[in-house]
Amino acid sequence: MDPQPTPDILANKCPRCAAAVDPRLTPDLPGATSRVTRDGGARVVVCGTCGEREAMRAGEDWEAVPLTDWPVSIDTLLSEDRLRLEFMRNCVIGAELIGADDAQAMLDGEGE
């Protein structure tokens, strides 16, 4: 089941960071399902940036910020955003062209 937008998102506020979210400027709404609530709890939708922040925390083995500490403090958000920016700076994005035969071989699981 797709996550349903939470009332906060509908009110144009991310419940995790409390930042204003304008649905007209954020075509990817409803954003991300918070990792805090993925395992059995009610799904809570956060903004896409908070989805990335939670992913960065998980990558660093930092504990998730519990719902009881939401909205997350500005200092914590800044720490998370430092991780995001460092990750984005060190990211290498590449692309290459492949032919139809190569594409079919990849789909067939060859060349692994």
List contacts with Zn ion (CB under 5 A). 14, 16-17, 46-47, 50
Q: Computed from CA positions of residues 45, 46, 52, 55, in that sequence, does the dihedral angle turn out positive or negative?
A: negative
Distance CA 103, CA 60 (A): 34
Nearer to Zn ion, 4 or 104 (CB): 4
| H-state helical runs in the chain | 7-10, 48-59, 74-90, 100-107
Instruction: Give the 3-state secondary structure of residue 13.
Output: strand
Nearer to Zn ion, 29 or 46 (CB): 46
Nearer to Zn ion, 7 or 109 (CB): 7
